[in-house]
Structure 1
């Protein structure tokens, strides 16, 4: 059976790089973003690969998530990468937190991933006996690590990723008996719209590292927080 990847936020940056990388390795890819028709690089890939399908999806639209899961109900998914994310405001200080923006970031970074997991778990269960252990992979961030926080600030994004890590840890326990692994991934500081031009690596380097981590993920790493170089990060 040809393995299938389902990925969110596939229109640019790390999501686009992962989409292309898995296509190059012969996977079927179901790529989601809000406006795929307005994503020229993704459309170029769609014209090049018959193994790529695209779907319009706003991950905060829970009814749309449920509808897409229903449309794909017969599709075994071997790997689901929740890549869609929102950074929110930058450059604010203590006392200047925009609570409305905070709620928006939590909707995308923390709540949506669990909703997606709830609706797509049956698809991963279908893939259990294909030779690929099904995986929920969630792109987190090292800034969500409380033990690594030495600089303070960043309340909105930090808290959304720390909360996501808690979600992933619980998922790894709750889905363990169903043969599904769940893992939090730190992609590195990447040259994307979110990471900025001064970041240390490009999206292709990050994607290659993340795929290597996922290709070699073991049962003992279920529920772990791992960076793109395979190093475990403290919570």
Structure 2
């Protein structure tokens, strides 16, 4: 199949790889990133694939988001992939939590994906495929937490998973499937060089899930290999 996908956080890592794979498959891709001036890889990709449309968007800037919503009014979006996020300071353990950084991470990782979903749900509902996907993380799984710590990033993804669950209920009547995705431990700027898989390997799996997803997938949490992760 082909269609239209909107991706946030597209200028590097997983977001860039998602853009690459979908545009090569003939999709129309709205690639959003915070600073287009430094998005050299995206610009190079666009030169070879005119169906890639570059959009400057800081997902924590509500005015920018609403402006984009108006600009894309009436455009059907088959997949809305909320990929943009912020890890925050590394190694956050008990007694070392920075309140302001916690707020910043929650704004990027939890609140912004919800607001994107609210802003563009009409576009998704007007499409054939009707999928909203959140880039979550296995560290947000309460059932999987056996090591403690990581308060800032963990909680942002746990809260995001709750957003996914509620949206899956609220948007079911509109036929929209809402899913959470774990990309694996990926060799990106966030994952580091010691990670287990490449961005290409991760996105190969994520793309399969995104293309197969229908309403029966909604309200569930998937690893990049297709297996389901407990909340």
> TM-score by structure 2 length?
0.98
Within-5 A mapping of 1:3-152: 3-127=3-127, 132-152=128-148
Deviations 1:110-154 (A, max 9, x none): 000011011101111211xxxx32100100000000000011100
Deviation track 1:51-109 (CA, whole Å, cap 9, x = no partner) reads 01001000000111011010010211000100001100112321110010000000000
161, 165, 171: which is aligned to 1:169? Answer: 165
What corresponds to 2:226 in structure 1? 230
> 8 Å contact 1:87–1:194 — kept in the other structure?
yes
Give structure 2 stretches of 5+ with no counterpart.
Answer: none
Aligned counterpart in structure 1 of residue 213 of structure 2, from 214, 217, 233: 217
Match of 1:190 in 2: 186
Shift of 1:219: 2.5
The 8 Å contact of residues 37 and 43 in structure 1, kept in 2 or not, is answered as: no
> What SS does the aligned partner of 1:124 have?
helix
Residue 2 of structure 1 deviates from its aligned partner by 5.2
1:133 and 1:11 map into 2 onto residues whose CA distance is 25
Aligned length: 231
Two-structure CA RMSD over aligned residues (Å): 1.1
Farther-moved stretch of structure 1 (34-43 vs 13-22): 34-43
Find the aligned partners of 2:215 and 2:69 in 1 and give their Cα distance. Answer: 26
Residues of 2 paired with 1:230 and 1:87: CA distance? 24
Which SS does the other structure have where 1:93 is aligned?
A: coil
Per-residue CA distance 1:189-218 (angstroms, 9 max, x = gap): 000111111000011111110001112224
CA distance in 1, matches of 2:229, 2:167: 18
3-state DSSP of counterpart to 1:41: helix
**Kept after mapping to 2: 8 A contact 1:133/1:179:** no
Contact persistence 1:94–1:153 (CA under 8 A): yes
SS of the residue corresponding to residue 195 of structure 2 reads coil
Q: Which 4+ residue blocks in structure 1 deviate beyond 4 angstroms?
A: none
